Structure 1
C-alpha cells in the first residue's frame, strides 16, 4: 500500500512518531508531506524551524527506527499537496486532522480520483492526560515525550470547601507524583438553585466551562433531583463535568439516593417558589443550612457516607474517560 501523511513536524514529538509508525505498519511505501516555511509559519504565533532542519530531524529518527523502510519526504505549500492528485491507498491521521482527511477525499472525488482509506490513530496523551501537541510543547506545559513540566492547575467552579476538597483528593490521586494545584473559583450554574433533571448536568457543565479559564482543567459539580421511571422516585444525584484547556468535556455522577417522602413533597410542591432540599430538610428535621454542615447524605446515612466521599465519586467518574483515555478518543 502507498501511504501518505502530512504535517509541520515541529517540534517533533511522540504524537508524530505514532503517526509514522502506523504508516510503516500498514504500508510498503510512505510519502510524508512536510509544510513549507511559508505555510508552517502562516497560522502560528510560535517560531517554526526551517524546512531543512525539520526534514533532517525527521529523517534521522526514521533511519534510526525504520532503516529499511522506503520513505519520501517532500515540501508542500498547500493544504493537501500531491495527496489530492496522486495514487495513494491510505492516509494516516490523528483525531485532530481526521476532518481534513475527509476534505481531502472530497477534493479527490471532485478531481476524478478515488477516495483513499482514512486510518485514524488515537491521540498520544501526555502525563496530564491531554494530547501531546507542538503548541503545548512550545508553551512548556510538556516536553516532546509528554512529560508534564508545569504545575497542573485545576479550577473548581465553586467556593464550597467540600467540592474543592473532593476535587483536590481525586486529582492528586490521579496525578500522583506531579504538582497539582486545586482552587475554588466562584461561578454561576445558570440553572435554578434546586435543579431537576437535565438542569443538573447543564449546571455542572456551565460551572466547569467558566472555571477552566486559564487553568488546565475546570471542574463543575451540581446536585439535583433526577426522576427514575422504574422506581417512580426522584433520586438525589451529584453530577460532575470536567472541561480541559483544549475544550473536551467529560461527565460522571456519584451514587443516587432518595429522600424521605415529606422532603420530596415539599420540594416538588414548592418548585415554583424555589424551595430547595436544604429548605425542606430544615422544615422536616430542624437543621438549618444542612448543606453547609454534614449535608443531607451525612444526616440520612447517619455518618456512613460523607458529603466529601459522595462528591469524590462524581469527580472520579467524570475522569474515567481520561484515566483510560486510549479507549475513549
Structure 2
C-alpha cells in the first residue's frame, strides 16, 4: 500500500517544510493544471515517467516551458538514441503507486519507487516556489527548491539538478555526462507491460484463454488491432484499447471534435464535462484491470467510452 496524499503532507509538516496548497478539479496535463493554479506564485512542472530497455525507471521533472528531447537525454545517459521511452501505464500503480496524470517526484516516498532515478530541471533552483502534485492530480502544492531537496534527503534520495535542454557531444573521447544517474537495479513488472502488445500486435487474452496462434502475419494482426481488418476474424474480446495511452488519446480527439462542432463557448463546457468522464473511465479501467485482467478491463472501458460520447 503506497503513501496517501494526507500521509505525504503530514510528513512535510513533520519536516517543518512549508507549502501552499491548491485544490482544483482533476487535471491530466500541465496545461490543464495551469488554468487552475497558473496565476499563483511558483513554477509549474511537467513530469515524465520513463524506462530504458533494461527495465530501469526514471522520473524527469522539468519546468513547464523546458523542452525535453528524449533522444538527446537518452544519449546523455549512455543509453543510445532510442534507449529511453515512456514507461508502460501498468508501472504507475505498481511502482509509483499513483493514478494516471499524477506522476510526481514525491512518488519516490514509496518503497516500490526507491530504485527510480530522479532528474530535476536545474531551472527550479532559480525559482521562489516549485509546484507539483502531492500524489494526487486534484491538488497542487508549492514549496521552495531547498525544501524539495530537504524532503528527498529525508527519504535517502539525492536528486540531481540537470540542464535538460543541453546537448553536449557524446563520443569516444566525450563520455555521456549523465551516465552516473542510470539506476543500478532493473525491475520486472508483475503485470504485462503494454509495450509487449506493441511487439506482438495480437491482443492479449484472459489468463484462462489459450496462447495466440503462431504464424499470423503482423499486417493482419495490426489491422485487427486498429479495427480496420475483418472484424469477423477477431475474437469477441478483441479491443483497440489494450494500450491505455491510446485510449486516452482517442478520447481527447473526441473532445477536439466536440469543440469544433459546438464552437469555442459550448466547446469549453463540453471539454470540461468530457475530461471528468475521461477520469471516471480511466479509474474504471484501472480498477477492472486488477479484478478481471488487463484485456477484459480495456474491452469494457471501450464500450463505456463509446456509450458516453
Which protein, 1 or 2, shows the higher relative CO under an 8 Å CA cutoff with sep ≥ 6? 2
TM-score normalized with structure 2 length:
0.25
Bigger share in strand? 1
TM-score normalized with structure 1 length:
0.24
Determine which structure has more spread, i.e. the larger CA radius of gyration: 1
